[in-house]
Structure 1
Amino acid sequence: MATKRSKEKQVGKLSEYTFVFPQKPEPKTWKQIIYDERDGKFFGRTRQSWWYLFLFYGIYFIVLFSMFWACMEGLFYTLNDNYPKYQLEESLIGVNPGLGYRPLPDDVRKAGFVHFKQHNKTEMDYWITRLDTFLEPYRNLSSGADQNLVKCNFGEKRPTGKSCIFDVNNLGPCSPSNRYGYNESQPCIFLKLNRIYGWIPEYFDDVNDLPENMPSDLVEYIKSIPEVERKQIWVSCNGVYPGDREATGPFAFYPSHGIASYYYPYTNTKGYLGPLVAVQFVAPKRKQNIFVECRAWAKNIAYHGGSRLRMGSVLFSLLID
């Protein structure tokens, strides 16, 4: 009986409460939104509420920045400005340097194509200017970095911490003073190997152990020079297709038929400028698009031709109208 009465009392109390539906907020003026005098709120918050908010986010961002700073310090601690952390086989670059050429057009869609008209000075000047820009660091030896450059020779050890000079004025007809042969329709193409820190070439310096597929003119050249000068990364060029081989004409290489050993290994020394090989088309056929492949020769440079996955070589075309 008592239980029944207690339940009736609870029902009676609950019936005394009425549900209040959400009311539409009272419209406020812009002045009240910024500061409401009735409750002392700035933009809907009290002074104490704003203080706690700024305190929380202040501590949050300080901790976040401290964690980021600690991570970056740990990362940079493992790096060195003078040499890469991962080298040779451990690096993404690997141990097979790529072969590139210059000049390149400013439009990447026309890369791999050198075209000019024989008597059009504007078109010839375009390619000459492109080569001037590329060779500017080589020509500007008075920039201060030349204090660390030395003249190197075969059979002599390069001084520690020094870089070998590559003199672009010692390139015969491919020198800047001769306009790289473009005004004579005997254009020069400059070949360069990509830099790989610490990589040392393995040379074809034994005339009795040369590759069977090495061009005969290169073989004869290797046999004709002194033994001490045979430590080079050899370079050869040839037409891709039979028609191209007839149209290229003879090639001339400056300052040598390869890249000398004293430029290696690359160790990121101050003032270092990568060595080049200038390849001149002595008598190319006019009005024919000539496809040319140039290749680097060393025992530890893998070669793969074709239009895809090319290794140890470079492909370009030349057209003289």
Structure 2
Amino acid sequence: MSGIKDKLSSFGTFCYNSDEGKVLGRGARNWAEIGLFYLVYYTCLAGVFVGFLAIFYQTVDEAQPKLTGTDSLLKGNPGMGFQPMTDVEYTLIRFRKPLLSYKPHKESIMKVLKPYKEADDKGVPCDMNNPPPEGKSCTVDYANLTAECNEENFFGYKDQKPCVLMRLNRIFGWMPQPYTEENVKNSGASEELQAKILANPDMIYIDCVGENPADRDNLGEIRYFPTQGYPHYYYPFTNQKDYMSPLVFVQFPNVTQNIALMVECKALAPNIHYDRTEKEGGVHFELLIDP
């Protein structure tokens, strides 16, 4: 016991020695010198950091990214995202009749749609003959977008007619090229879609198909709302005020149940290259409706 008391007494003396006026083994002058040193040291360190930060901001343009086009991370080739994606690690859209099965799918889609719902009156109305003025952005007609796939019908999942929301990634300054009679044949689209493209070439068309013959047979009809793609007048994105990316709902109204189907959706434009490995120019997902 005496040994423990001696150790505690020694530690207490180290913390504060009243005879020598020291705290943690140092006197007041020693603590003042150390405090002054670290004050000067961290002040200089903060000054260097702020200086480099100021230099960095001098090289950054707030209106546009430093690297654009083929120099950007996306190399001028947009990717595409889809919802619902209730788990970022999986591309399987699976549900069945009970509400708890498809409620997360509705919430996932609504996270994307919420800004569109709140900003329905922002931007300017556009069409093929009336592109937006410089510096303005086209409005996304939320009512038209959600006419068939909407919050009230749980985006089709309630009736086992699932809707999948498609959105093309933004690339600053990128402009889609229109198809011509010469290059539409190399698009990989069906003859029916090729005819539609040539009738209105000023669109980025979305083409969803089953990856295998069995997938195509069991997917059934595929519908697109409000149109089968993104009109060119939404492009280019130049950081316009209130800019909203165009959206497309893809609906599968008569999918065969109890079979996992692999679906591939591509964005079609002459300057969009599809690469599934790099996740460029389209998306891949699986669809499964449990009985």
TM-score (norm 2): 0.87
Q: Does 2:197 correspond to 1:222?
A: yes
Give the conservation status (yes or no) of the 8 Å contact 2:78–2:170: yes
Query: What residue is the counterpart of 1:112 in the other structure?
Result: 91
Separation in 1, partners of 2:159, 2:134: 42
In structure 2, the CA distance between the partners of 1:63 and 1:103, relative to structure 1 (3 Å rule), is same
Residue 85 (1) aligns with residue 59 (2): no
Q: Say if 1:56 and 1:216 are closer, same or farther in 2 by CA, change over 3 A.
A: same
Kindly state the Cα deviation for residue 91 of structure 1 after the two structures are TM-superposed: 1.9
2:171 paired with 1:192? no
Change (3 A) 1:197 1:52: same
In structure 1, give the amino acid aligned to 2:127.
Answer: N
| Cα pair distance change 1:316/1:43, threshold 3 Å | closer
Matched, 1:137 2:115: yes
Alpha-carbon distance in 1 for matches of 2:286, 2:88: 15
Measured after TM superposition, the shift of residue 255 of structure 1 is 1.5
Regions of 4+ moved over 4 Å: 39-42
Q: Which residue of 1 aligns with 2:5?
A: none
Q: Check 1:289–1:36 CA distance in 2 against 1; reply closer, same or farther (3 A cut).
A: same
**Secondary structure of 2:224's match?**
strand
- The code of the aligned residue for 1:156 comes to N
Q: Aligned equivalents of 2:153 and 2:37: distance in 1?
A: 71
The answer (yes or no) to whether the contact 2:183–2:270 under 8 Å persists in 1 is no
1-structure distance, mates of 2:13, 2:48 = 41
Alpha-carbon distance change, 300 to 55 in structure 1, aligned in 2, over 3 angstroms: same
Deviation at 1:128, TM superposition (A): 2.3
Match of 1:210 among 163, 170, 184: 184
Are the equivalent residues in 2 in contact too, given 1:207–1:222 (CA < 8 A)? no
Cα distance, 1:29–1:188 mapped onto 2, change above 3 Å: closer
* Post-superposition offset of 1:121: 3.0
Matched, 1:73 2:51: no
What SS does structure 2 have at the residue aligned with 1:279? strand
**CA distance in 1 between partners of 2:275 and 2:194 (Å):** 20
TM-aligned CA distance change 1:59 to 1:219, over 3 Å = same
Contact 1:236 1:296 in 2 (8 A): yes
C-alpha displacement at 1:241, in angstroms?
0.8
Name the amino acid aligned to 1:260: P
Task: Give distance in 1, aligned partners of 2:159 and 2:12.
Answer: 80
CA distance in 2, matches of 1:164, 1:177: 26
Q: Shift in Å at residue 98 of structure 1?
A: 0.5
Aligned to 2:12: 30
- Per-residue deviation, residues 236-265 of structure 1 (Å, max 9, x unmatched): 011001100111112111121211011111
Equivalent in the alignment of 1:5: none
Deviation of 1:31 after TM superposition, in Å, equals: 4.8
Aligned to 1:292: 263
- Confirm whether residue 125 of structure 1 aligns to residue 103 of structure 2: yes
Corresponding residue to 2:149 among 174, 194, 198 = 174
CA RMSD of aligned residues (A): 2.3
Q: CA deviation at 1:28?
A: 5.3
Distance in 2 (CA, whole Å) between partners of 1:300 and 1:127 is: 32
Give the fraction of aligned pairs with identical amino acids, expressed as a percent: 32
Q: Which aligned pairs between 1:139-178 and structure 2 lie closer than 5 A?
A: 139-141=117-119, 146-147=121-122, 149-171=123-145, 172-178=147-153
- Residue 274 to residue 47, structure 1, CA distance change in 2 (3 Å): same
Contact 1:166 1:275 in 2 (8 A): yes
Residue type at the aligned position of 1:134: V
- Normalized against structure 1, the TM-score is what? 0.79
Q: Which residue in the other structure is 1:4 paired with?
A: none
Measured in 2, the distance between the counterparts of 1:115 and 1:42 equals 66
Q: How far has the Cα of 1:231 moved from its partner?
A: 0.7
Task: Structure 1 unaligned segments of length 5 or more: list them.
Answer: 1-26
**3-state SS of 2:184 partner:** coil
Cα distance per residue 1:31-82 (max 9 Å; x no partner): 5752453x55444334433333222222222212211111111112222333
Aligned pair partner of 1:275 in 246, 254, 260: 246
